[in-house]
Structure 1
């Protein structure tokens, strides 16, 4: 049994208002990854941030000025980019998972797990050209 006193419990606080904004992928080849996400998912560059040491491309669905974004981040110094294991896939909702899976693979993604039913959803997994896992999700209509 420990003799250390328990830390006092802080008073309940109201969480700040927050909403999801973006996911940022650090990429090896900015032009190739931009082209892949444009072709595979119809994203477009909404904003470019070009600084002396980095470039960021803020990508969204055409016509959406706000909301969730995919940011492609590129270090201009050519440093090595390695994928880690402390995250899961980026989830993307699609209407027709089989058609989306076939299209994304035809645009350069690697098939990782074929479409399958998982109760209320149909899911598939692909790897983008640099190896990031993407989960395609379609809700099953009953």
Structure 2
């Protein structure tokens, strides 16, 4: 009888943990593509789809505010980061109650690009984008989303 109770408790704990992990919030989804600017330069395009009620932040957030959206390039071959990221979608800038400051943010969607110089082909362009998102009640911790492209 005692063994059965312990087994039942273990099964509940295991399935309870699976149920909790299945409820991870992911209100912002990113898709990446590359566009060729010329034979020596490509553009990494990051496009976000943001659920209603949520927002993610721009690339130029004041110090003391939320985590800005940022590209990090690493492990690249025959390529190097150039210029600065560009907010193709213009962010809204308003007073944010949570951070008590003027903050640039995106609702519904955002597109941000960053250019990369190709020094030799084939090249590998890879890295990750860091972003943070909040609704009116809570903020999720900063998240990294990886990307990798082969440029032939």
**Which gives a bigger RCO, structure 1 or 2 (Cα 8 Å, sep 6+)?**
2
Give yes or no for TM over 0.5.
no
The structure where strand makes up a greater share of residues is 2
Larger Rg: 2
Q: TM-score range by the shorter chain?
A: under 0.3
- Normalised by the length of structure 2, the TM-score is 0.26
- Normalised by the length of structure 1, the TM-score is 0.27
